[in-house]
């Protein structure tokens, strides 16, 4: 097959390729929306102390909720056997138990739903030969990460069933980080199928430097998410509820009271919150600088829009974070802050995609 001087045949082939993958991209974006919901519900589960209300992992049987009064009594009696009940919720009534049970139940149910919504279309697209080998490897990798996430979730819960009142902040952070990695992988593949390439008017070298900057910012957002997991894990957000100083200090004096010194970065409420604030300040200064540099280049309209949304989402997320802190972590604002983290991360990924 020959092409004319305008390159029309390659363009047609590219258009057909993109059109054939649109259903796959839409499916992946639906999965992204479900993972987004999963992260938010997981945050609420953590904030309400609901994560240990179900002390068993039954992937199939556990889908059926308690129906009879006897079912509820059995579940409550199992909950009474763990340290959290004895030290935090001793004397909890059945109605109070139901209040924390349903959050954890829906969190796990949503995880099962995501597995089905991902697996069934995946098999369908393979059977219909809509997925080539490279794409198949990517999608198989995402499925493997999803299976690992299920195991990680139970591994996290196990840490709070024996000796601890709450789950380990290390396992919680790993669970959260893996959720963001799965989300990023699906979003990246989906947007790659919808927009295989972008054309910019500025010199490739300038765009390439801006793209590296965008990846650094997105990586920093991910690190901030991980630090937020540590904040949630040790309830660091309920301390130092002042801004911009921490109870009058730029650098609080209790930063390194634990031994050995490196424990402070994971177990010290003061240090963990300070680190989270520090990363936020880095983004508050870096993202506007990135936006200003992007304005100096001749980018495509969609790339410029992505840069605008990154800046806007940063401002919203910073506002949510400060409000959540000042109000001592109310449920509504804390959940919105967790949702904002996903949206800010998404904006960073989209900028990286549009600059690719």
Task: List, as residue ranges, the binding site for heme.
Answer: 276, 337
Triad 221, 224, 229: Cα angle to 5°: 130
334 to each of 42, 320, 346, how far by Cα in Å? 12, 8, 19
Sign for the CA dihedral angle at 266, 271, 273, 277 comes to negative
Annotated binding-site residue numbers: 276, 337
Triad 76, 330, 311: Cα angle to 5°: 130
Q: Helix or strand or coil: residue 51?
A: coil
Q: How far apart are CA 170 and CA 147, in angstroms?
A: 19
The 10 Å CB-count burial string (b at 16+, else e) for 207-242 is beebbebbbebbebbbbbbbbbbbbbbbebbebbee
Cβ burial, residue 249 (10 Å; 0-12/13-18/19+)? middle
Give the number of residues written for the chain.
356
């Amino acid at each position: 097959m020959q092409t004319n001087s305008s390159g029309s045949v390659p363009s047609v082939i590219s258009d057909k390729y993109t059109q054939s993958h649109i259903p796959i991209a839409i499916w992946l974006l639906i999965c992204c929306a479900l993972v987004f919901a999963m992260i938010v519900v997981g945050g609420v589960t953590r904030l309400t102390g609901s994560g240990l209300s179900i002390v068993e992992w039954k992937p199939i049987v556990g889908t059926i909720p308690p129906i009879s009064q006897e079912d509820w009594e059995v579940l409550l009696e199992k909950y009474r056997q763990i340290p959290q009940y004895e030290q935090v919720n001793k004397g909890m009534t059945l109605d109070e138990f139901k209040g924390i049970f349903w959050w954890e139940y829906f969190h796990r149910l949503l995880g099962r739903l995501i597995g089905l919504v991902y697996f069934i279309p995946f098999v369908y697209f393979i059977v219909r030969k809509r997925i080539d080998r490279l794409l198949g490897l990517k999608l198989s990798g995402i499925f493997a990460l999803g299976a690992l996430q299920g195991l990680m979730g139970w591994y996290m819960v196990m840490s709070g069933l024996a000796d601890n009142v709450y789950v380990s902040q290390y396992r919680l952070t790993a669970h959260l980080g893996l959720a963001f990695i799965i989300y990023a992988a699906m979003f990246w593949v989906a947007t790659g199928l919808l927009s295989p390439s972008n054309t910019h008017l500025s010199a490739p070298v300038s765009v390439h430097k801006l793209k590296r900057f965008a990846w650094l910012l997105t990586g920093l957002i991910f690190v901030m998410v991980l630090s937020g997991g540590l904040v949630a894990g040790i309830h660091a957000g309920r301390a130092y509820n002042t801004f911009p100083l921490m109870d009058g200090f730029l650098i609080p004096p209790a930063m390194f009271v634990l031994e050995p010194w490196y424990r402070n970065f994971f177990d010290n409420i003061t240090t963990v919150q300070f680190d989270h604030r520090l990363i936020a300040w880095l983004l508050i200064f870096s993202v506007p600088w990135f936006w200003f540099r992007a304005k100096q280049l001749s980018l495509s309209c969609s790339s410029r829009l992505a840069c605008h949304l990154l800046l806007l989402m940063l401002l919203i997320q910073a506002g949510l974070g400060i409000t959540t802190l000042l109000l001592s972590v109310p449920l509504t604002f804390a959940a919105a802050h967790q949702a904002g983290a996903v949206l800010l991360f998404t904006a960073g990924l989209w900028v990286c995609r549009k600059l690719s």
